[in-house]
Amino acid sequence: MKTKILMGLLAVVIAGLIAVPWIASYFYIFILTEILILGLFAASFNLIFGYTGMLSFGHAAFFGIGSYATALVLIHLEWPFLACLLVSMGASALLALVIGFLSVRLNEVYFAMLTLAFGMMVFAIAYQWRSVTNGSDGLAGFTLGSFGLGLDLTLGNPAVYYHVVLAIVAIAAVVLYLICRSSFGMILKAIRQNPERVSFAGLNVRTYRLVAFVIAGTFAGLAGGLIAPFLRVASPELLHWSMSAEPVLMAILGGTGYFLGPFVGSAVFVLLETWITSYTESWMLVLGIILAMMVIFFRKGLLGTALDWWTEVKK
């Protein structure tokens, strides 16, 4: 009964998201596009954070390299958008394999510091390798051509681009969800709760942490590939360590113990930012207060707290 109502609710939300371009202004189409892309970024991060228990402070490296990859392919090769996204995923997977290989051997705060350090290195490279990345200005001036698969889509139209983002994020979310529900996902949860016991069950915990890290990086790269045409630029800010904090905040805001938590967190984050900055400059102060309240009083995040509350009411 409960799951049926929740599934119904989810169906309504998805139907609403599909209908948005016909009922809302461009302003909200832009906001929702951003929410979806950052939601995927945060959900990819939560695979290693909420499920596997690895707090990475360098996740923006994969988001950023995904955006640069798509921008570079569009500028130099003018490939269809779908091909650009595949290049983004490949590039971020490769980077995640290298950074992950060197990082997953360490635990807890050492892992966090190492991922932060690698994230800063990637930022420095993007910032200084001007001939390829155009330095601090980033890569701009690229235009989207065809989508691929013979589909005739006008990607320059924000409403069309929104639908493309919605479809791709939905597919990516389903794939991530299936991974979380698999036997592999079960092992990831077990690793978060007790890594030593998992190794005494005969599994190489390092390998599992590395695979999770690469999957998370790959989906972050996909999100990065989607953000570049949306922002019309791939800039070093997307790789900055402060960008690595965003999925952490979103996951905690929405609830790390729930698959959809990071998406809820992304929605709240983007909406609050838009709303508060129209009144005051001090958006970070308000965000700080909200986050402190979440961590002190609502550990399960907004989604978790709402679900708990709903279960109570049902009784």
Contact at 8 Å (CB) between 44 and 223?
yes
CA 63 from centroid of its chain's CA atoms: 8
Asked if 29 and 162 touch (Cβ cutoff 8 Å), the reply is yes
> In this complex, which beta carbon is closest to another protein, that of residue 187 or of residue 222?
187
198 binds another protein, rule: CB under 8 A: yes
All residues at 6 or more sequence positions from 103 whose CB lies less than 8 Å from its CB, including other chains: 56, 111, 114, 115, 118, 213
Question: Could you say whether residue 3 binds another protein (CB under 8 A)?
Answer: no
Among the listed residues 136, 154, 194, 311, the single contact to another protein using CB under 8 A = 194
User: Beta strands 233-234 and 139-140: pairing type?
Assistant: antiparallel
* 118 touches another protein (CB under 8 A): no
Q: Is 214 in the site for another protein (CB under 8 A)?
A: no
Q: Which of residues 157-186 bind another protein (CB under 8 A)?
A: 178-179, 181-186
Instruction: Assess 258 for contact with another protein (CB under 8 A).
Output: no
Binding-site member from 203, 231, 272, 306 for another protein (CB under 8 A): 203
What is the distance between the alpha carbons of residues 296 and 291, in angstroms, rounded to a whole number?
9
Residue 212: name the closest of 2, 22, 51, 42 by CA: 51
187 is an interface residue for another protein by CB under 8 A: yes
**Binding-site member from 2, 130, 197, 299 for another protein (CB under 8 A):** 197
Q: Least distance in Å: CB of 21 to another protein?
A: 32
Smallest gap from Cβ 256 to another protein, in A, equals 12
Size of residue set near another protein by CB under 8 A = 24
Nearest to 159 by CA among 28, 67, 71: 28
Q: Which residues bind another protein (CB under 8 A)?
A: 178-179, 181-187, 189-190, 193-194, 196-205, 208
